[in-house]
Amino acid sequence: MKASPPIGSGLYVTENYLAMAPSQLLLQAYHDMATHNIDDGTGGLDNSITFELDRAEENSDVTAIGVVLATVECGGPVIALRGGRIDASSAGPPGVPTPDQSVDDFIETFRKQGFTQEEMIALVACGHTVGGVHNPDFPTLVPPGDIPFEDNIVLFDGTPQFDNAIVTQYLDGTTGNLLVIGANGNSTLSSDLRVFSSDGNVTMQSLASPENFAATCATLLGRMIDTVPSNVTLTDVIQPLPVKVAGVQLAPGYDDTLVLNLTMRLLSNTARQVTLHWADRGSTTCSSGTCSASPINSTLITTPLVGALGLSPIKYTFSTPIANTSISAFWFEVDGEIENNGGSGYVIEQDRVLFSPDRSVYAGSSFKIVAAVRNDSVPSGVYVEPYQRGGVVTRTASVNLTLNASITPSAGYNFYSGEVFGEDLTFDLFAEIDGTVYEEEFRDTHFIGFGTI
């Protein structure tokens, strides 16, 4: 079951991905973008970093949304986000300068990437306002950690916040940035010093203003994530949807009814009267005349990004039983006004195969997945395609589900089950019925909270 037209941005970010240190997200975004060559229009932020993990300059995957979220989470400015990047199919050329290179090498490298000398200085400062120097990368600058196998790090400016301390400490001579002061009198790796001072500190002095630093970083980091191959066209800046529907799930309950679960977010948290409406399957109306429900709760959304955008959204949660005839579409009434996704409502594309979360079980190293298939026909196959989540989401082998006679049919559905082994997994669900393959996507589903049989 899906709602259509699409009600999300299409961007997918895993929890593990967002748990990476914000500095790593900024660093890896630059490393991915660094393959760009403005002279021939090749390279840029195209996820070619996936194929470059064996290089000393690379550590993990990254996407533009990670930069936007990481910057705001650390107290930095909002970076405009565009979509439409195309993943590379192979590694790009090396593009990240090493700390022991000359300032002329740095200037030429950044020129190829599309940045002037002044922009190079500012971009390095913006990138180094968070994070620091790690022992594994710079063992001559940073000693190993006291705990075996623990990474030791010396922060660039002593704070994890996105602020201009990296600039002010450099200008007033109090910096502890090891890429400025070096170690034991060795200035070979003092790349930040060479970069920052390359124009006589003119650019760094201009960044001493917190307002100018934030504005400059928003612009340059935005340009960094928008640096793509010349044959790629990005979208306009993505704006928050006035109404966003998520978590749509139709599933058989235990009392011979279907249950519709979803959330609906409004950008404003002003007092609202919100009602969910739906139509019978195969119809545009409700035959019983009682196809409506109120939210079970509402929640104010408070995140750094929301606050930085000056928004005050509210999310309404719905969980309501419906007749076992299923539904074709749903819509909302907000303070007497109809919100129907531009006229068509939020369409339920299929209900032939549904995921049954209450009957599925997480067992630590495996997942018992239960699917519901309408019992008016016999499927020739029911299966899931699991995905191992992490910095890079990878598909694993398909797993067939078989009819489970121990689960009592409900709401016109029979139940099929199977076990998927692994940790931090998600999946897509399929059923082939009379030559047609029906799909329910759950690639953003979390298994926490599964019920027991």
Tens of pLDDT, residue by residue over 195-207, are: 999 999 999 999 9
- What confidence score (pLDDT) does residue 398 get? 93
Domains of the chain, earliest start first: 3-225 (1.10.420.10), 243-348 (2.60.40), 353-442 (2.60.40.2440)
**pLDDT at residue 146, rounded to an integer:** 65
Q: Which of these ranges, 90-94, 302-306, 391-395, has the smallest mean pLDDT?
A: 391-395
pLDDT value at 334 more than 50: yes
17 pLDDT more than 80 = no
Pairing type for strands 327-334 and 337-339 reads: antiparallel
Sequence-distant contacts of 83-86: CB under 8 A, at least 24 apart: 83/9, 83/10, 83/11, 83/234, 83/235, 83/238, 84/232, 84/233, 84/234, 84/235, 85/45, 85/46, 85/47, 85/228, 85/232, 85/234, 86/46, 86/228, 86/229, 86/232
pLDDT range class, residue 25, cuts 50, 70, 90: low
* Least confident window among 33-42, 57-66, 247-256: 57-66
Of 220-224, 262-266, 440-444, which gets the smallest average pLDDT?
A: 440-444
Confidence of residue 19 (pLDDT cuts 50, 70, 90): very low
Q: What is this structure's pTM? A: 0.76
Give me the chain's average pLDDT, please. Answer: 83
Instruction: Give the percent of the chain with pLDDT over 90.
Output: 50
- Rounded to whole angstroms, the Cα distance separating 163 from 128 reads 10
CA gap 157, 179 in Å, rounded? 11
Report the C-alpha gap between 160 and 178 in whole angstroms: 16
pLDDT in tens, 79-130: 998 888 887 777 777 667 888 889 999 999 999 999 999 999 999 999 999 9
Give the mean pLDDT of 417-442: 89
Q: Is residue 12 predicted with pLDDT exceeding 50?
A: no
Helix (H, G, I), strand (E, B) or coil at 263: strand
Decide if pLDDT at 5 tops 50: no
CB neighbours of 188 closer than 8 A, spacing ≥ 6? 99, 100, 182
Look at residue 324 and tell me whether its pLDDT is greater than 80.
no
> Quick one: DSSP state of residue 78?
P
Cross-strand partners of 422: none
Identify whether the C-beta of residue 291 lies closer than 8 Å to the C-beta of residue 245.
no
- What pLDDT score was predicted for residue 135? 81
Residue 168 has pLDDT above 80, yes or no: yes
Lowest mean pLDDT among 9-23, 30-44, 157-171, 197-211: 9-23
Which residue, chain included where needed, has tokens 């027991």? 452
In the chain the first and final C-alpha atoms are separated, in Å, by 23
- pLDDT value at 49 more than 50: yes
More confident residue, 385 or 34: 385
Does position 58 have pLDDT exceeding 60, yes or no?
A: no
Q: Is 411 left (phi over 0), alpha (psi -120 to 50) or beta?
A: left
Q: List, in order, residues 6 or more apart from 302 with CB less than 8 Å away.
A: none
DSSP character at residue 172: H
Instruction: Write out pLDDT tens, residues 404-420.
Output: 999 999 999 999 999 99
Least confident of 40-44, 149-153, 188-192, 420-424: 149-153
Q: What is the pLDDT of residue 442?
A: 59
Whether 300 shows a pLDDT value over 50: the answer reads yes
Lowest mean pLDDT among 57-71, 126-140, 325-339: 57-71
Cα–Cα distance between 373 and 354 in angstroms, integer? 7
Q: What is the CA radius of gyration of the chain?
A: 26
Where is pLDDT greater, at 201 or 51? 201
Winning range, highest mean pLDDT, from 15-19, 93-97, 237-241, 440-444: 237-241
Least confident of 130-134, 195-199, 283-287, 447-451: 447-451
